[in-house]
């Protein structure tokens, strides 16, 4: 078996030559492309961070709450993934953009190749910090008319909350299930896809709108625009 050839790389995120056919309409985006796209969108955004699917899967399946070192393991996890989260000298709101893959709810997912799920959605977590309290606000954006990733996102949210509490070493974290919409599309009115393949593109669209803090009353999803942007990013970070 030949070694996969890296086409583009940004940080730890790589897109391989064999991934490029997935950019065509009708193809389902895998974790390599989703992670690369979101890494590029959040680049140099000091308050926006994204958790790659591989990192989220590690949080769900590899950190055991029953482990006596769970708190330290969680702290090390967040220091590596989102350093400002544990910096108590900075009272800065932090936005986590987390692609949710339907495979996260599979107990065997830790032993599977990532990206084998059937649906992408986006979990937006805002961490609001003050001197005494850290509040977590969540919104889940799912382009599927049936909101099929809601249970998976809810389970991940609980894991994220408990791991943050363990990492901080105290219970001054409060969590809400809904936050005042930060973007023009509140959770209850998320745009829905009309096909069976564009969920990954919608996931990226939601994240991009949040990062840009779009002011349109109704931002429009445009596949061609997103595809062109991704092509430019792949070219910009292409391995020479």
- Angstrom distance (rounded) from CA 151 to CA 225: 31
- Look at the chain and report how many structural domains it folds into: 1
Residue 89 forms part of a structural domain: yes
Give the DSSP letter of residue 132.
Answer: S
Q: What is the mean pLDDT of residues 22-43?
A: 92
**Pair of tokens at residue 195:** 């096909």
Res. 87 pLDDT band, cuts 50 70 90: low
pLDDT for res 188: 47
Q: Give the position of tokens 């509490």.
A: 165
pLDDT per position as a tens digit, 112-161: 444 567 899 999 988 877 666 777 788 889 898 777 888 888 888 888 88
Residues of the domain holding 37: 6-236
pLDDT per position as a tens digit, 161-176: 878 777 776 545 555 4
- Closest to 22 (Cα-Cα) out of 3, 7, 40: 7
Residue 156 forms part of a structural domain: yes
Q: How far is CA 87 from CA 30, 75, 96, 106, 129, in A?
A: 33, 11, 15, 33, 10
Residue 207 forms part of a structural domain: yes
Q: Please tell me the least confidently modeled range out of 43-52, 128-137, 175-184, 201-210.
A: 175-184
Q: Report the number of secondary-structure helices (H) and strands (E) in the chain.
A: 6, 7
Q: Give the position of tokens 């249970």.
A: 151
Residue 63 forms part of a structural domain: yes
Backbone angles phi, psi at 54, to 5 degrees: -65, -35
pLDDT for res 177: 43
CATH number of the domain enclosing 13 = 3.40.395.10
Rg (CA), the chain: 18
Strand partners, 8: 15, 238
User: Which distant-in-sequence residues (6+ apart) come within 8 Å of 72 by Cβ?
Assistant: none
- Angstrom distance (rounded) from CA 61 to CA 110: 6
Give per-residue burial for 189-211: e unless 16+ CB within 10 Å, then b.
ebbebeeeebbbbbbbbbbbbbb
Residue 183 forms part of a structural domain: yes
Residue 202 forms part of a structural domain: yes
- Closest to 151 (Cα-Cα) out of 161, 142, 164: 142
Residue 1 forms part of a structural domain: no
Give per-residue burial for 30-69: e unless 16+ CB within 10 Å, then b.
bbbbbbbbbbbbbeeeeebbbbbbebbbebbbebeeeeee
| SS3 at position 240 | coil
User: Which distant-in-sequence residues (6+ apart) come within 8 Å of 175 by Cβ?
Assistant: 135, 136, 138, 157, 161
């Amino acid at each position: 078996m030949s070694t996969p050839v890296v086409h583009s790389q940004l940080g730890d995120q790589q897109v391989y030559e064999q991934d490029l056919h997935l950019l065509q309409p009708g193809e389902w985006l895998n974790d390599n492309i989703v992670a690369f796209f979101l890494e590029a969108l959040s680049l140099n955004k000091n308050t926006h961070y994204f958790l790659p699917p591989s990192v989220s899967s590690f949080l769900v399946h590899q950190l055991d709450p029953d482990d006596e070192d769970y708190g330290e393991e969680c702290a090390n996890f967040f220091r590596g993934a989102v350093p400002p989260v544990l910096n108590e000298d900075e009272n800065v709101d932090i936005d986590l953009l987390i692609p949710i893959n339907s495979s996260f709810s599979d107990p065997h997912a830790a032993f599977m190749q990532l990206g084998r799920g059937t649906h992408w959605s986006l979990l937006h977590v805002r961490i609001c910090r003050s001197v005494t309290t850290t509040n977590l606000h969540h919104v889940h954006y799912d382009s599927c008319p049936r909101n099929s990733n809601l249970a998976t996102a809810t389970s991940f949210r609980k894991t994220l909350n408990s791991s943050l509490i363990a990492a901080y070493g105290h219970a001054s974290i409060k969590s809400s299930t809904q936050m005042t919409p930060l973007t023009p599309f509140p959770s209850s009115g998320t745009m829905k896809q009309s096909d069976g393949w564009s969920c990954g593109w919608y996931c990226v669209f939601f994240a991009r709108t949040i990062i840009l803090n779009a002011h349109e009353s109704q931002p429009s999803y445009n596949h061609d625009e997103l595809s062109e942007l991704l092509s430019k990013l792949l070219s910009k970070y292409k391995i020479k």
